Amino acid sequence: MGLPGPVHDALPDGWGMSLMDRLFRGRGLNPARIGPLERLTCVGTDAMDARSFAPADTGSAPDEVTIPLAQLAAAVIDRICDSASRFADTVRARFPKAGARIRYNLAMTRLPRCFSLFSRDLPMKQYQALIQDVLDHGNWQENRTGIRTLSIPGAMMRFDLQQGFPAVTTKRLAFKSVVGELAGFLRATRSAATFRDLGCKVWDQNANENADWLANPYRTGEDDLGPVYGVQWRAWPAYKLIDAAHTAQLEDAQRKGFRVVSQLMDEGVPKVLLYKAVDQLRDCLDTIIKSPGSRRILFHGWNCAVLDEIALPACHLLYQFLPNQSTGEISLCLYVRSNDIGLGTPFNLAEGAALLHLVGRLTGYKPRWFSYFIGDAHIYENHLGMVKEQLQRAPFPLPQLAIAERVPDFARTGVYAPEWLEQIEPGDFSLVGYQHHAPITAAMAV
């Protein structure tokens, strides 16, 4: 079946290039695994009954145009990736009855996994959609920083890490800083100096320029941050206060690693105080290895007992790992209580995805779904220019994350080496094929 003349005339040179070469081989996919693709349909607003027709059957501009997808796919991909709006305008101009709306209907004998590239080839459009949502529906709010925010309650994004690493492409991601911070968290550091040594300077202001923290009696000196994220991840301070007469409870607690700190009287009753530093993240990895069907593989950064001892209480605070034995994949759900969309979201997305890749590497699972939930999603007033500029930029395809060969791969070696959580170096992570627009700088609100 041939293309309608007006559509054919509107297409760029080379539109007939092989579907497999353009769409799949060019993205490193195996065309042998792609199912047959049949057609693309453009439906006008006044033709919602979706009447099908063969283009050769009519010479007038119809309500609905059905185009063989196998012939048109390369041009469609060009238009979606480079200028979807111009493609839509072209079809509307050629077929006036299409009105203001065009719907693409893919009719296939089966839906191949790889064809999801049509909707997820540029996943960071989710980030642009989030920015637009906050701009369209946000309300102005005051906050502790003195710089008001445009905020919405509740938002989420979801990324398939098999299709790429969620590095923002509408500006340059400070990737070295991202993995530097992650390495610092994994080492349970509480010092901005350690973060700096690892290539991350984002903690300097919180440690040394935050007036409230500078006056906090729990601050121990220059560069101290208190027991921030990584301390809670790797050494959560856990206490048990047990009645001295309950010997079975005392013995059980000590078998589980608690040690006696003190014996005391509590309201006239003899008690024993015990302490243990809980390595939540290591426990997660152990459970993934020993009991992957568990739905309790999570760690938390919000420790109510020490909130007044920390320069900045945790924003990204709840991580849940979801391994799937049948597919050999592992996914992550991350909840962020408060998220600075301009600076924090791109940073946190990359950091969470890198952590999932590392955990998968050490436990033998392929990283798959990364779901990112936000409580208060906000844009600072002094960041409006930065985020609006990003809305004018077309995202690039996502890069891939590479982890250095020296980091043990459980799937290949069968060797479980969780000690690499603290041995990992920022240089062990790298982005492959990272394309991005020009950097945009903005001040962090402290």
Distance CA 76, CA 92 (A): 15
- Using one digit for the tens of pLDDT, what is the confidence trace for 226-265? 999 999 999 999 999 999 999 999 999 999 999 999 999 9
Look at residue 74 in the predicted model and tell me its pLDDT: 42
Range of the domain at 77: 5-120
What average pLDDT does this structure show over 72-76?
Answer: 44
- 167-190 residue pLDDT tens: 999 999 999 999 999 999 999 999
Please indicate, yes or no, whether residues 9 and 101 belong to a single structural domain of this protein.
yes
Confidence of residue 87 (pLDDT cuts 50, 70, 90): low
Distance from C-alpha of 195 to C-alpha of 191, rounded to nearest angstrom = 7
Mean pLDDT of the chain: 82
Sequence-separated (6 or more) residues with CB below 8 Å from residue 36: 70, 108, 109
Kindly name the residue from 42, 200, 284, 315 that is annotated as catalytic: 315
The pair of three-digit structure tokens given for residue 354, joined into one six-digit string: 């890198």
The domain total for the chain is: 2
Same domain, residue pair 403 and 342: yes
- pLDDT for 94 equals 62
Which residues contact residue 192 at a Cβ distance below 8 angstroms, ignoring those fewer than 6 apart? 203, 204, 206, 207, 208, 223, 224, 225
Domain boundary among 120, 140, 172: 120
Residues 191 and 95 in one domain: no
Q: Specify the DSSP element, H or E, that contains 264.
A: strand 259-266
Q: Domain end: 68, 97, 120, which one?
A: 120
Of 67, 101, 120, which marks where a domain is finished? 120
Cα–Cα distance measured from residue 363 to residue 382, given in angstroms and rounded to the nearest whole number: 42
Q: Is 315 a catalytic residue?
A: yes
Tens of pLDDT along 231-242?
A: 999 999 999 999
